[in-house]
Amino acid sequence: MKQTFLRASLGLLLGAATITARPALAADVVELKQPNAAKVVVMLRFQNGSASDPKGKEGLAYLTSQLVTEGGTKELTASQLKDKLYPMAVRYGARTDKEVTTFTFEFHRDFLDQFYPVLKGLMLTPSFTPEDFARLKSNQLNYVEQVIRASSDEDYSKFALEDQLFRGTRYQHMTRGTAAGVQSLTLDDVKKFYAAAYGKNNLTIGLSGNYPESFVQKLKKDMDALPTATVKPDVPKAAAPKGVQVEIVSKPDALGSAVYAGFPIETTRAKDDFAALMVANSFLGEHRKSYGKLYDKIRTARSMNYGDYSYIEWYEAGGNNMLPVPGVPRHANYASIWIRPVQIAEGLRKQYPAELGDLKVGQAPFALRLALREMDGLVKNGMSKEDFELTRTFLRSYTKLYGLTSAKQLGFLLDSKFYGRKDWLQELDGQLAKLTLDDVNKAIKKYWQVQNMYVTIVTDDSEAQPLAEVLKTNTASPMSYAKVVREGLPKEILAEDEQVATYKLNVTNVKVVDTKDTFK
């Protein structure tokens, strides 16, 4: 595939904090031409997201982007527009993350001329009707108030971790906002935010697929009619907490305990040592792979849950995505550990009344101890040469799968620009090739530690208090095996269990929060 990069303007600097008041800066264009493709992808990336939400208006960036793509234009009402687009099977939508909002339009090349006026109308003259506003606001509020609490405890624990990690900053709230924030939103807020956040000076245009050169020029010229953006995301500098601070979210009828732990790190794809940390992270807990140490020890050997992984940047919708998706680049970064729901005491007592009938606490404390002990081991001992080589080989192939579709390739190119790179995926291979074991072990020591972090556990109300007690008092938490599993375990595992059960967590605070009180 031929990749062409046009840097139309040098005026746009990179990074969220670099938006200036200089007027009339034209948008940058990133192109990925594929003359044989059936489809065209247009991405419009603005450097504003939920971290640009005004105080008290949490959820505004998200609602604004939804209203742009769900509504009509000056020429066509939403319903006329949907009629027109119906036979074309055009797909479009917005993704709002903390610092960027990306509008993605995917259409068949047959419809380039017919669809373009709609795209232009949506971006430049969105209809913003009170009816669409009421409907989308209601849906967003419903998500924040109800859906997130009762759909996936894994997403729930992840958002709750960010709530702790970034408390008091503009990164704290979910991109969909808080209950109070969404409630307060008005149509006037949306109109103002649209005018202030989506400007030609903070726009990068991405194009891929099969389109004529004249299309690029037309799109660029038309988007030049956007105003100059006057807001920018407020990027926090999160500090590590003192000790391990745990928040347990208690909810009725949860079958398991979903655990997320994390701490800020000061590296991103912008830095060269990120590739070194990628190797360590892949070894410890590559997403949805059975090769990671966490997965191996928690799931494969001990059968405690469905999977266990580690991260060194935000991973969008990890429960659904097997490979990372673009569109979520961030300057404020953290490392994290994801332990998928493990059994609670109530469930184990019911399943194995004879051997586990007296159990007071489920497997969450053991799983957390085991995960942190693994990370700790890497910090203290580093990786071996053999593990380093194999993991690097894996990543050099695996990262080539990140851009399987043209839309994903284009998205990663736009993310590259965010981080001040030309083509991160391509550069990454060179960075990985150059790495030494020493680079990786230095990166581990520089960025990872287990003494200071936040932990969030979403669990059943029967489990919350006993779990809090164990963590608060650092009580030993022996692994609670069923007899059928324990019988066949090798001695090494049982010996390791002894170590894990009493592995000291530097817990300094444990708080139980009722589910009703989250994301208010």
Partner 1 sequence: MKHAFRSLGLAASLLTAAAPTTRAQQAAAKGAFPYAIEQSQLPNGLKIVTVPYASPGLASVFLVVRAGSRDEVEAGKTGFAHFFEHVMFRGTEKYSKEQYDEVLKSLGAAANANTSLDRTVYHMTGNARMLDKMLEVEADRFQHLKYSEHDFKTEAGAVKGEYTKNSASLYTQLNEKVADAAFDQHTYEHTTMGFFKDVVDMPNQYAYSKTFFDRFYRPEYTTLLVVGDVKAAEVNQLAQKYFSGWQRGSYVPNMKAEPAQTAPRYVHIQNANFPPFLSLSYKGPAFSDQSKDLPALDVLMTMLFAENSELYQQLVVKEQKVRFVGGAPNMTRDPYLTSIRASVVKADDIPYVKQRIVQALEDAKTKPIDQKKLADTKSALKYGNLMSLDAPDNIANALSEFIWLSGDAQSVNRYYGLYDQVTAADIQAAAQKYFVPEHLTVGTIGPKDTGGVQ
Site for partner 1 in 493-512 (CB under 8 A): none
Which is closer to partner 1, CB of 1 or CB of 24? 1
Which one among 113, 213, 358, 487 touches partner 1, defined by CB under 8 A?
Answer: 487
Per CB under 8 A, 33 contacts partner 1: no
Count the Cβ atoms, other than its own, within 10 Å of residue 394: 16
Which one among 360, 380, 385, 400 touches partner 1, defined by CB under 8 A?
Answer: 400
Which among 148, 153, 124, 134 is positioned nearest to 44, based on CA atoms?
A: 124
Residues 6+ apart with CB under 8 A from 387: 283
3-state secondary structure of 311: strand
* Count of residues interacting with partner 1 (CB under 8 A): 84
Distances (CA, A) of 404 to 90, 275, 321: 20, 20, 13
DSSP 404-428: -SHHHHHHHHHHHHHTT-S-HHHHH
* Burial zone of 427 (CB within 10 Å; 0-12 exposed, 13-18 middle, 19+ buried): middle
Per CB under 8 A, 146 contacts partner 1: yes
Per CB under 8 A, 147 contacts partner 1: yes
Which one among 6, 225, 484, 494 touches partner 1, defined by CB under 8 A?
Answer: 484
Residue 477 CB, shortest distance to partner 1, in Å, is 17
Stretch that binds partner 1, among 178-186, 188-196, 317-325, 500-508 (CB under 8 A): 317-325
> What is the C-alpha R_g of the chain?
24
Which one among 396, 421, 442, 472 touches partner 1, defined by CB under 8 A?
Answer: 396
Sheet with strand 256-265: strands edge to edge: 308-311, 333-343, 256-265, 453-460, 244-251, 507-514
User: What is the dihedral sign for C-alpha 177, 181, 187, 191?
Assistant: negative
Which is closer to partner 1, CB of 70 or CB of 247? 70
Which one among 153, 463, 496, 497 touches partner 1, defined by CB under 8 A?
Answer: 153
Binding string, 326-345, against partner 1, x = CB under 8 A? --------------xxxx--
Degrees, nearest 5: CA angle 393-1-410: 80
Per CB under 8 A, 322 contacts partner 1: yes
Binding string, 105-134, against partner 1, x = CB under 8 A? -xxx-xx-------------------xx-x
Residue 310 CB, shortest distance to partner 1, in Å, is 16
The residues in 407-466 that bind partner 1, with binding defined as CB under 8 A, are none
Residue 7 CB, shortest distance to partner 1, in Å, is 26
